């Protein structure tokens, strides 16, 4: 809720500034669609492809381990009357160990502190910096006072001719 108030305050401030500054000159405000930039920028697509492959690898291994656990649980259930109490306890202990290993694998690879998240952060940070650098350059080169992101929900009305997403994509694709 606090974030919404800040965004609303920003929008109100921009509107007030636009009204006050009209005596000093026209304020130039443009917007981008960050979602479209991430979908269409080749650099972002490559990073997303790498992250998707890594996630698929981790998920496939998780599924493999999960299937082993299910198979062991079915084996215990189907053979419960045939197994000696010691053998049954041994298999149940194996199942608990496999369950613990499965949970640990998920946490280590796909959890919030896992390898996937670390790799995501490592790859996304330079991309965000590059996009921000291009936004600053475009803003300075074209003399914009503000560049807003319509995906973030702060823009309630816009004219399509003020969209500079294509310009930002062109600049991003020029730099490799």
3-state secondary structure 70-132: HHHHHHHHHHCCCCCHHHHHHHHHHHHHHHHHHHHHHHHHHCCCCHHHHHHHHHHHHHHHHHH
Fold of the domain spanning 2-174: Protein Binding, DinI Protein; Chain A (3.30.910)
Ordered by start, the domain boundaries in the chain are 2-174
Residue 15 is predicted with a pLDDT of 56
Of the candidates 100, 58, 98, the residue with the CA atom closest to the CA atom of residue 74: 98
Residue 106 is predicted with a pLDDT of 98
pTM of the model as a whole: 0.70
Residues of the chain with pLDDT under 50: 20-23
Cα separation of 55 and 106, whole Å?
11
Residues 6+ apart with CB under 8 A from 72: 91, 94, 95, 98
Q: Which tokens in the block code for residue 145?
A: 């006072």
Residue 25 is predicted with a pLDDT of 63
Residue 105 is predicted with a pLDDT of 98
Cα separation of 176 and 109, whole Å?
30
Of the candidates 145, 124, 134, 120, the residue with the CA atom closest to the CA atom of residue 172: 134
3-state class of 141 per DSSP? Answer: helix
């Amino acid at each position: 809720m606090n974030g919404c108030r800040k965004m609303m305050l920003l929008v109100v401030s921009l509107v007030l500034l636009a009204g006050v500054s009209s005596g000093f000159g026209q304020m130039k405000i443009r917007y981008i669609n960050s979602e479209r930039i991430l979908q269409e920028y080749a650099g972002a697509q490559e990073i997303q492809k790498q992250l998707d492959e890594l996630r698929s690898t981790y998920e496939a291994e998780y599924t493999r381990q999960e299937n082993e656990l299910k198979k062991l649980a079915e084996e215990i259930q189907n053979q419960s009357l045939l197994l000696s109490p010691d053998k049954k306890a041994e298999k149940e202990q194996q199942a608990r160990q496999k369950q613990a290993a499965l949970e640990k694998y998920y946490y280590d690879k796909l959890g919030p502190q896992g390898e996937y998240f670390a790799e995501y952060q490592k790859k996304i940070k330079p991309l965000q910096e590059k996009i921000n650098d291009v936004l600053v350059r475009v803003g300075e080169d074209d003399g914009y006072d503000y560049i807003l992101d319509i995906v973030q929900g702060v823009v309630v009305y816009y004219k399509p001719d003020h969209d500079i997403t294509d310009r930002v994509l062109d600049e991003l694709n020029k730099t490799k």
